[in-house]
């Protein structure tokens, strides 16, 4: 049996400690990453008080949001978006798309949004540690790409940046990837700095994250 309430409260307690190190007005939003969980578990966590959920596959987002359509859940898309899934994602009207990872994808998404006369709130994903395995724009061009998307994709509402911390045992490397992203965020005058997962969310918050994406720590046994 998973004790959802205990998991959630333990995460909130740790977030409180971390965010207060930044300052008393630094508010952090939690997205529960439900990609390895079923609708039954999402519902239980929902009734413990968690409202925002993130999925990394369009099919899973579709299936779970349908199964749980009675609940006013705020759904986030956090995964790699394949071209052939763009229309499906638009139909699902996610609250926020965290993983806009190139100008090309932005152009494709924008033109499909225009056809459907819809808008989407998105974050620009930054490959802050320049890892082969990760999507996103490299830090050097992030501001330029952000402004380019803002100027030429009028159906996309860019509301911030997202990064996945460096895949490393070395805390300094992870910290550096968060600091690099926060420095870009600060130059943009935008709303969300989405960074931090189960293994590194306290560090991410101390580096300035205001949106954490937490899976394992909320859904663990």
Q: Residue 203 interacts with ligand PLP (CB under 6 A)?
A: no
Residues 126, 100 contacting (CB under 8 angstroms): no
Residue from the set 11, 18, 28, 33 that interacts with ligand PLP by CB under 6 A = 33
Residue numbers 148-167 binding ligand PLP by CB under 6 A: 164
Segment contacting ligand PLP by CB under 6 A, of 38-46, 135-143, 165-173, 195-203 = 195-203
Q: How far is the CB of 87 from ligand PLP (least distance, A)?
A: 22
Q: How far is the CB of 198 from ligand PLP (least distance, A)?
A: 3
Bridge partners of 160? 192
Among 151, 179, 147, smallest CA distance to 166 is for 179
- Distance from the Cα of residue 198 to its chain's centroid: 13
Residues 39, 60 contacting (CB under 8 angstroms): no
Residue from the set 78, 81, 89, 105 that interacts with ligand PLP by CB under 6 A = 78
DSSP type of residue 95: S
Among 27, 70, 34, smallest CA distance to 52 is for 34
CB nearer ligand PLP, residue 111 or residue 167? 167
CA–CA separation, 174 and 184 (whole Å): 16
Residue from the set 6, 140, 154, 216 that interacts with ligand PLP by CB under 6 A = 216
Residues that bind ligand PLP (CB under 6 A): 33, 35, 56, 78, 164, 197-199, 213-217
């Amino acid at each position: 049996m998973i004790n959802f309430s205990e998991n959630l409260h333990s995460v909130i307690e740790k977030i409180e400690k971390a965010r207060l190190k930044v300052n008393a007005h630094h508010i952090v939003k939690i997205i529960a990453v439900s990609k390895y969980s079923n609708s039954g578990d999402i519902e239980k966590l929902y009734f413990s008080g968690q409202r925002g959920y993130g999925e990394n596959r369009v099919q899973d987002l579709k299936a779970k949001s349908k199964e749980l359509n009675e609940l006013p859940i705020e759904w986030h898309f956090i995964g790699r978006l394949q071209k052939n899934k763009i229309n499906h994602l638009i139909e699902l009207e996610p609250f926020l798309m965290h993983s806009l990872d190139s100008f090309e994808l932005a152009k494709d998404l924008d033109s499909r949004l225009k056809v459907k006369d819809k808008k989407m709130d998105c974050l620009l994903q930054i490959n802050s540690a320049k890892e082969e395995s990760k999507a996103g724009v490299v830090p050097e061009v992030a501001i330029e790409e952000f402004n380019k998307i803002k100027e030429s994709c009028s159906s996309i509402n860019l509301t911030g940046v997202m990064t996945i911390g460096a895949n490393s045992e070395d805390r300094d490397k992870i910290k550096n990837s968060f600091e690099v992203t926060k420095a870009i965020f600060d130059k943009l005058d935008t709303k969300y700095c989405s960074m931090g997962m189960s293994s590194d969310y306290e560090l991410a918050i101390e580096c300035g994250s205001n949106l954490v994406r937490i899976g394992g720590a909320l859904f663990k046994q």
